[in-house]
Amino acid sequence: MEITKELILSQIRQAKKGNQSAFSFLLDNFWNEVYGFQLKRVKDEYEAEDIAIESFSKAFDKIHTFDEKYTFGTWLIAISKNIQIDKSRKKNASIYALTSDASDEHVQKIIDDSPTPEDKLITEQNLAELLRYIKQLKPHYQEVINLRYFHEMSYNEISETLEEPLNNVKVRLLRAKKLLAEIITQNRTS
C-alpha cells in the first residue's frame, strides 16, 4: 500500500475521532522520522526514544489542533524539537523531571476496545514462546507489556505505577506491541 498525502490526512481525521488503528498507523509511519531526528540531536538511544514517545503522546493529545494545510511529519518534528529543548533546559537547570502539561481531563482518549492486528498476533503465541520474544524488547517496553498483559493493569494503573503521564504510557504500549509483533513475524518466517 502506497502511503499518500490523502491516506495520511484520512488517518489524521480518523485519529481526531479517536480511531485506535489510525493512531497506530500514524505512530508506525512517522516513528522513524521523529526517532531519527532526535537520535541525531541527543546522540543517546534511550533519550531519543523517550523524547519520541513524549512527542507522539503530546501530538495525539493535541491532534484536534492539527491544521491540515501543514504536513504532519513537520508538525511532529516541531513538537519533538520543543520537547527536546525543554528537556535540555530542565536538565541544565538541574530541575529535570518527567511532567506532562496535559491534565487528565484533557488527555486524548485513545480507544482500547478492539484488538489490533498486533494484539491478535501476540495472543496467538504460546506463553513460553511469547516470553522469549518479550525478552528481546528493551526493558521499558518489556515493563509496559508485562503490566498490561500479565498484571492486567489499566492504562491509568500503569501510569500511576510508572509515575508517567497517561499519554506516554499509551504511546509506549502502542510502540511495544508493534515491536513485539515484528519480532513474532520475523520468527515465524525464519
pLDDT exceeds cutoff 50 at 113: yes
Write the class of the CATH domain 5-92.
mainly alpha
pLDDT (0 to 100) of residue 64? 92
Start-end ranges of CATH 1.10.1740.10 in the chain? 5-92
Whole-number average pLDDT of the chain = 83
Instruction: Kindly indicate the confidence band of residue 103, based on its pLDDT and cuts at 50, 70 and 90.
Output: very low
The radius of gyration of the chain's CA atoms, rounded to the nearest angstrom, is 17
Start-end ranges of CATH 1.10.10.10 in the chain? 115-189
Instruction: Determine which of 128-132, 137-141, 183-187 has the lowest per-residue pLDDT on average.
Output: 128-132
Nearest to 25 by CA among 43, 7, 39: 7
- Grid-cell match 528481546, residue found: 136
Nearest to 53 by CA among 72, 73, 30: 30
Write the class of the CATH domain 115-189.
mainly alpha
